[in-house]
Amino acid sequence: NDQGITGVCPACRIMVIKVTGPDGQAQYHDIAAGITYAAQNGADVINVSLRGRVNSSTLWRAVNEASRTAVVVSGAGNDGGASRVYPGAYDRVLAVAAVGRDGAKLESSGYGAWVDVSAPGSQIMTSRTGGRYWAKSGTSVSAAVVSGLAGLLMCQHTDWSPEKVRRQIVLTAEQIDEKNPGYEQQMGSGCINADRAFTASLPARPVTEGSAAQEQIAHWIEMEIPLDLDLTS
- Read off the pTM: 0.85
Q: Which ranges of 55-138 would DSSP assign to H, the alpha helix?
A: 57-66
Cβ neighbors of 215 (< 8 A, separation 6 or more) are: none
Q: For residue range 108-144, what is the model confidence (pLDDT) as tens digits? A: 999 999 999 999 999 999 988 888 999 999 999 999 9
Mean per-residue pLDDT for 89-107? Answer: 96
The predicted structure's pLDDT at residue 211 = 33
Mean per-residue pLDDT for 11-29? Answer: 90
pLDDT-wise least confident of 164-168, 202-206, 216-220: 216-220
Q: Is 42 left (phi over 0), alpha (psi -120 to 50) or beta?
A: left
Q: Which of 120, 116, 121, 102 is nearest to 180 (CA)?
A: 102
